[in-house]
């Protein structure tokens, strides 16, 4: 029997990401639930998945994908636990609305780091 595929979906504690990670778990994938802020929301997704998949098929990892060292640590932890990563869906993203001329440098950089460079191969 083929080993289950391992999928990492960034930003999977709510919205589209939560739907994707739940769907892949139902199909037998080993899934990694990635989130950066809400422990409560991430644990709700984990509990939902645990209704039909044992805990050995699911990982919950808090990581800010805009931070290179955190992403490398996340990849290392996934490989240490599951042996590999077969698929990655870069779903994490943020939106800071407002006139860009009134944004601080940090406010401007955060969406760029998350939405653009957060999808780089960090390994």
85: DSSP letter:
-
Q: What is the pLDDT of residues 57-80, one digit of tens each?
A: 999 999 998 888 999 999 999 999
pLDDT at residue 119, rounded to an integer: 54
47 vs 67: CA distance, rounded Å = 27
Q: Is the pLDDT of residue 93 over 90?
A: no
Q: State pTM to two decimals.
A: 0.78
Residue range(s) defining the domain that contains residue 25: 6-119
**Cβ-Cβ contacts under 8 Å for 47 (sequence gap 6 or more):** none
51: DSSP letter:
T
Residue 60 belongs to a domain with what CATH number?
3.40.50.720
Of 30, 15, 13, which is closest to residue 64 (Cα–Cα)? 13
């Amino acid at each position: 029997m083929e080993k289950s595929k391992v999928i990492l979906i960034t930003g999977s504690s709510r919205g589209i990401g939560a739907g994707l990670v739940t769907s892949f778990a139902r199909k037998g994938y080993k899934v990694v639930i990635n989130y950066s802020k809400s422990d409560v929301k991430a644990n709700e997704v984990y509990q939902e998945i645990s209704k039909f998949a044992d805990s050995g098929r699911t990982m919950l990892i808090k990581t800010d994908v805009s931070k290179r060292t955190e992403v490398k640590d996340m990849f290392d932890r996934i490989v240490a636990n599951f042996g590999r990563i077969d698929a990655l869906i870069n779903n994490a993203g943020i939106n800071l609305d407002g006139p860009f001329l009134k944004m601080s440098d940090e406010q401007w950089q955060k969406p760029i780091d998350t939405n653009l460079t957060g999808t780089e191969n960090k390994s």
